Chains A and B, each alone.
Chain A
């Protein structure tokens, strides 16, 4: 190699490296921008429909506060206090402005600030849901990977059978069994209640373990099955033969080539799983006596507390969309193919 080339090479390399960094950054930004572009209309439409629920339901704070025998004048007076006599779009504008500032309004039943109430419940629910997700991801990945590596052997069949069995167990049944065995029988975990993490990590974990396990079954089953089938499919791809022929070890082929391409569907499943995790938390929170987000949603709905239900929906929408945004960003990192819509 001549000297001029030797001098030129690092410059070229730097330019190419910079271009590549820009390329990657651009891809992440594009994914981010696209997700935001989806998020904004979804949020607008969803909040609008949510807000329209009050008019559609015909519920009124006056009925809750004054009872069934209230005079029309009293009802009109109370509704005026809540600002419900104003035009619909004005009410929506006001409420939406509050939502953007984190103010979800005041409860019809007890006049408490809904943002505060949801904040309290959300701590409980997110602890449980995150832990459940963690268990689901770790156990699901382990089972799915082992089944794929030992495909068509008895290990694969045993795992597939086990996973199918747990996938049909509803969280409330699992919850009750877990309480009966581990809380009442073996007395290793508390049967109910919640202790915030600030009061001790041990007790916090002890209180959220059983509900998280109960919730995680579904995630474990879905992740394991999805991962197994996509890994088995990836193993059949030619690029695996290519990597083998180039003399790469089985471990390297698995981690560097198979897992990387098989991960996408399992990650996408996680994105779909999160909303149902939030939904299923209602039942488990009842069983484990947790004052969580799901329970709050349920109580508010039964009481006809429309602003509280609206708040719950807004928070759910944000949770689900943000989680999906996160999953999409990870997906964009793992497989450029998913980006091209292939």
Chain B
């Protein structure tokens, strides 16, 4: 098994990847998720295939079921929620029969995730370096010293300046953008094949958001990571994704290649999203200046 740091040094050849059609690492088939307590279905059938090095985007307003779909793929649905229809295959295996121990071994090393509000996803009383190293120590059975060395390498790989210093700092000492980088480093520490970025850039300001998106694209190019990008922001999806799903109230209202969906939206909700972007986005205010 090649570690991520090795992968980082030997970029996957783009042509080699395209040559043979690879098997999907994450395959979601008509997944339905229900709230058992309320007795109603929240997500009504979501399907997509994700192959290494590709990116699927899920767009939609809050409460549309984006996060639930991701959590189902990670096996961390909240209490009362369960997958009531369809199937999710992770690396060719159906997740329904997974025992807690199997989940533990798959998470981190096959599928991993980063979320909105990175500060809350790191333990406030443990140095960030130790939190990244912990993943390497546990998932790759590395020694304490080797794990620490690799944690520093990872922090360097996510473009953190002065990774040695950052390693010894607590989450409260770092900014939001730095924390999201640390979170990404921890998520990719055990070399997962799928990374879910659930609103990973939502809480960050625009320049930092662009840097994080560049980082994710960079990781995808270098390691063949498959990405699921969840966002309510079309700009994020446009920048990163090959395929887009538009979710509304648990229903997939539009699905297809990103360019297709953005330029020729068929469903009125997608048109609304794009129109709103045109209406409220900065582009509208910048346009006259360019004309002049």
Contacts and interface: CB of A to CB of B under 8 A. Distances in A.
B168 A244 contact: no
Interface in A239-255: 239, 241-250, 252
A157 interface: no
Interface stretch (B42-50, B56-64, B106-114, B256-264): B106-114
Contact of B100 (A248, A250, A252, A337): A250
A249 B104 contact: yes
Interface in B75-122: 76, 100, 104-109, 112-113, 115, 117, 120-122
Contacts of A78: none
Interface stretch (A13-21, A64-72, A94-102): A13-21
B76 A19 contact: no
A335 interface: yes
B164 A242 contact: no
Interface-centre pick from A16, A19, A256, A335 (highest chain B CB count, 10 A)? A16
Q: Chain A contact residues: over half helix, strand or loop, or mixed?
A: helix
A243 B139 CA distance: 12
B72 interface: no
Contacts of A243: 123
A253 to B, nearest CB: 9
A337 B121 contact: no
A237 interface: yes
Contacts of B105: 247
Contacts of B219: none
A252 B121 CA distance: 16
A334 B125 contact: yes
Contact of B125 (A238, A245, A260): A260
A321 B138 CA distance: 41
Given A16-B164, A340-B172, A244 B107 contact: yes
Nearest to A248: B138
B109 A247 contact: yes
Contacts of B115: 238, 241-242
A336 B172 CA distance: 10
18 contacts: A12-B164, A19-B168, A20-B127, A237-B120, A238-B120, A239-B123, A241-B76, A241-B115, A242-B183, A245-B107, A246-B134, A246-B135, A247-B107, A247-B139, A248-B134, A248-B138, A260-B123, A337-B124
Q: Which 6 A-B pairs rank lowest in CB-CB distance, beginning with the nearest?
A: A247-B108, A242-B121, A247-B107, A238-B120, A20-B168, A16-B164
Interface of A: 12-13, 16-17, 19-20, 23, 237-239, 241-250, 252, 256-257, 260-261, 334-337, 340
Given A241-B121, A245-B76, 13 more contacts: A239-B121, A239-B123, A242-B186, A246-B112, A246-B187, A247-B104, A247-B108, A248-B104, A248-B108, A252-B134, A256-B126, A257-B123, A336-B124
Interface of B: 74, 76, 100, 104-109, 112-113, 115, 117, 120-127, 134-135, 138-139, 164-165, 167-168, 170, 172, 183, 186-187, 189-190
